């Protein structure tokens, strides 16, 4: 009880000195933590979309941020909204494939990658993703066909040669695997 009285007197003295001395700022008022809500990195985009829900660019930015943050369900929702408004949006289609791939649903990922390739037949990166899914379900020959075509489209695409070497080794074609890994090494020489 005595310490409470002393503490109260010290606090009153401090308040009196503070109010008399204009050079000393008053102590900051404490705000309960329940009332302080930090802004998330998504708040601004969500707010803008609330006012302009058809803005595909904003929705894509939000979906990409969700995806990067590991919020795959929210990212998928945003990509589906984009896809529903533009069924030829290869970015949304490919990212839906990526989300299914990340969730180990290769058959569903393949559907989306194939849709994206129908729109953009020469997109080597989507084709690599598709080949990876085929590999995951042990369809190595399908993966090889895709990767061989990639190498025809762009002979300098190192990832295609690297993945092709892996596919060849999985089916026991070691000579072809060695040839592809050497091409990969030549293409990436000096990049490390």
pTM, two decimals, is: 0.74
Closest by alpha carbon to 84, among 54, 51, 111, 62?
A: 54
Q: Give residues with Cβ within 8 angstroms of 188, minimum separation 6.
A: 158
Q: Give residues with Cβ within 8 angstroms of 158, minimum separation 6.
A: 184, 187, 188
Residue 112 CA to its chain's centroid (Å)? 17
Residues 116 and 93: their CA atoms lie apart, in Å, by 6
Longest dimension (CA), the chain: 90
pLDDT tens series, the chain, 192 aa: 544 444 444 434 434 433 444 443 444 444 444 444 446 778 888 888 888 889 999 999 999 999 999 999 999 999 999 999 999 999 999 999 999 999 999 999 999 999 999 999 999 999 999 999 999 999 999 999 999 999 999 999 999 999 999 999 999 999 999 999 999 999 999 776
Tell me what pLDDT residue 21 has: 42
Closest by alpha carbon to 82, among 49, 34, 107?
A: 49
84 in a domain, yes or no?
yes
Same-domain pairing of 76 and 116: yes
Structural domain that includes position 183: 140-192
- pLDDT tens, residue by residue, 88-125: 999 999 999 999 999 999 999 999 999 999 999 999 99
29 in a domain, yes or no?
no
151 in a domain, yes or no?
yes
Total of domains in the chain: 2
32 in a domain, yes or no?
no
Same-domain pairing of 185 and 154: yes
CA atoms within 13 A on the CB side of 78: 26
């Amino acid at each position: 009880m005595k310490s409470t009285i002393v503490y109260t007197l010290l606090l009153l003295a401090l308040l009196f000195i503070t109010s008399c001395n204009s050079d000393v700022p008053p102590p900051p008022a404490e705000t309960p933590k329940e009332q302080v809500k930090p802004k998330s990195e998504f708040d601004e985009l969500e707010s803008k979309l609330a006012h302009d829900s058809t803005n595909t660019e904003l929705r894509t930015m939000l979906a990409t941020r969700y995806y990067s943050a590991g919020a795959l369900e929210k990212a998928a929702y945003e990509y589906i909204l984009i896809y529903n408004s533009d069924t030829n949006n290869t970015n949304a289609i490919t990212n839906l494939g990526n989300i299914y791939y990340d969730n180990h649903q290769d058959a569903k990922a393949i559907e989306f990658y194939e849709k994206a390739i129908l729109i953009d037949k020469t997109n080597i990166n989507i084709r690599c993703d598709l080949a990876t899914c085929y590999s995951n379900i042990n369809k190595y020959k399908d993966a090889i066909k895709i990767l061989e075509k990639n190498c025809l489209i762009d002979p300098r695409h190192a990832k295609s040669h690297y993945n092709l070497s892996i596919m060849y080794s999985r089916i026991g074609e070691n000579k072809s695997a060695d040839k592809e890994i050497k091409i990969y090494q030549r293409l990436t020489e000096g990049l490390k």
